[in-house]
Amino acid sequence: MKKNLTDKQVQAYRLVSGEFEGLSTDEAAKRMSITPQAVNRLLSRIKKSRPKLFPLLTKQEADVRALLDVGWENGDIANKLQVSYGRISQIIRNICDKRHFATQSAIRTIRYNPSMDSQIRRKF
């Protein structure tokens, strides 16, 4: 069973996550009146209990993802954010890499072995 996150952990995550405020750990530390090391400790504890929340998206990555989610095309996103089309492509690759890393899990595969036939027959 997962433990609930503390209020400080939630605050640190929201401040640093690009999906919320997207601040650096130094900026988040100033806002929380704690050291950057304390922010990093809070984030590492969150990562242990909620690994799917990591890696964090930057603010720009979160903005691009939000626009993609509502159906915007890359060129339109580039115009809105006033960056090059190539930069948008790079940001999308970064998002995909981070989401793949966050959702990647060990997949157990089963290989056929002739001894399996006898085990299957016993069940019927």
How many degrees, rounded to 5, is the angle at CA 38 between CA 30 and CA 2?
120
Q: How far is the C-alpha of 16 from the C-alpha of 6, rounded, in Å?
A: 16
Q: What is the DSSP letter of 52?
A: G
pLDDT (tens digit per residue) in 35-51: 999 999 999 999 998 88
CATH of domain 1-56: 1.10.10
Q: Are 77 and 88 in contact (CB under 8 A)?
A: yes
Q: Are 95 and 65 in contact (CB under 8 A)?
A: yes
pLDDT (tens digit per residue) in 45-94: 999 988 888 888 888 998 999 899 899 999 999 999 999 999 999 999 99
Q: Any idea where the domains of the chain sit in the sequence?
A: 1-56, 58-104
pTM over the 0.95 mark: no
Q: Are 87 and 78 in contact (CB under 8 A)?
A: yes
Chain-wide mean pLDDT for the chain? Answer: 83
